[in-house]
Structure 1
């Protein structure tokens, strides 16, 4: 399994990096996880829009889904005869995004696969299990398993005992680490710190950790250090172009 980081910031993109977005490839299947702000261009630098096989969206905040709209335009306006792109997301989470365009324009570009956080389903070669994790809107953390390999992804989440099950023995945990250590009162219960990620990664026995959704301006080394206080495995920060390979 090959995971390419398209962006790793939370809230808004900067001149140097987009928001959450990951291209996951296995056996020729290409899955896009969370096409947030400013992730489409780095995606298209690697994969033509028509060659993408599916999209998974953890929740409906625009820093996790906004670039799905131009992606659908790129598919339908370039080749109206192309197959619909399967889009998996919590029910109702993308209604406002789909309503941005003129009625019916992008409808042929996608196939809608709604689910409730907590559901399990197959997505290409991946067996997907989801968890309802605490955030301001319904958020589905997920495990993507294929063979003996497991990628775990939190989306955006506050602290939850469910995170240990989500990350249990995962080959890679991609986790919300908006702040290095202290979460401001206004975000307590809805977002996580790198220090918290380190604690639940250690409890879960995750093999390596990729910190994502950092608040713009956060020093990456501070996030890595905070996670490393409780977790002694490999920790990196999501940055554009970073590639993580799982398995041989």
Structure 2
């Protein structure tokens, strides 16, 4: 399994990096996880729009889904007879995003599979288990299990015991770590720190940890150091072009 980071910032993109977005390639299947702001360009530098096989969206905040809309445009305007793109997202989370274009333009470009966080379903080679994790909007953390590799993805979340089940013995955990250690009161309960993530990763016996959704301007090394206070395995920060191969 090959996972390419398209972007790893939270909230807004900068001149150097996009928001959350991951291209996951396994057994010839290309899964796009959370196409946030500014992820389309790095995606298209690696794979044509028509060759994305499915999209998974954790929740409806635009730093996790905004570039789904131009991806659909890129597919349908290049080939109006192309197959619809399967899109998996919590029910209602993409309603406003998919309605911003002229009526009917992208209607045939996607097939929306809405689910309630907590459900299990299949996507390509994966069995996907989801959990409802605490955030301002309904957020579906997920565990993607293939025949020979497993990775977990938190989306955005505050503290939750479900993170241990999501990540248990995973080859890789991609975890939101907006802050290195101290979470401001205004975000407490809805976002995570690298310090907390390291504790969950250690408890879950994760083989590798990838920190994502860092607030723009956060020192990546500070985030890594915070995670390593509890977690002794390999820790990286999701940066542009970072590639992780698992297992």
**In which range does the TM-score fall when normalised by the shorter chain?**
over 0.9
1:215 paired residue number = 215
1:48 paired residue number = 48
1:232 paired residue number = 232
User: Matched residue of 1:108: which SS?
Assistant: helix
Shift of residue 10 of structure 1? 0.1
Matched, 1:244 2:247: no
Matched, 1:31 2:31: yes
TM score, norm. by length of structure 1: 0.99
Shift of residue 148 of structure 1? 3.0
Structure 1 stretches of 4+ moved >6 Å = none
- What is the number of residues matched between the two proteins? 247
Q: After the TM superposition, which residues 60-139 of structure 1 pair with which residues of structure 2 at under 5 Å, given as runs? A: 60-139=60-139
Q: Using the alignment, how far apart are the partners of 1:192 and 1:56 within structure 2?
A: 21
Q: Using the alignment, how far apart are the partners of 1:159 and 1:211 within structure 2?
A: 15
Q: Summarize deviations over 1:11-60 as a string: whole Å, max 9, x none.
A: 00000000000000001100000000000000000010001100000000
User: Matched residue of 2:236: which SS?
Assistant: strand
Matched, 1:158 2:138: no
Shift of residue 149 of structure 1? 1.1
Q: Using the alignment, how far apart are the partners of 1:34 and 1:155 within structure 2?
A: 8
Q: After the TM superposition, which residues 184-199 of structure 1 pair with which residues of structure 2 at under 5 Å, given as runs? A: 184-199=184-199
Q: CA-atom RMSD, angstroms?
A: 0.4
Name stretches of at least 5 consecutive residues in structure 1 with no aligned partner: none
Q: Using the alignment, how far apart are the partners of 2:144 and 2:4 within structure 1?
A: 15
TM score, norm. by length of structure 2: 0.99
Q: Using the alignment, how far apart are the partners of 1:199 and 1:27 within structure 2?
A: 32
1:140 paired residue number = 140
2:181 paired residue number = 181
Q: Summarize deviations over 1:201-242 as a string: whole Å, max 9, x none.
A: 000000010000000000000000000000000000000100
Name stretches of at least 5 consecutive residues in structure 2 with no aligned partner: none
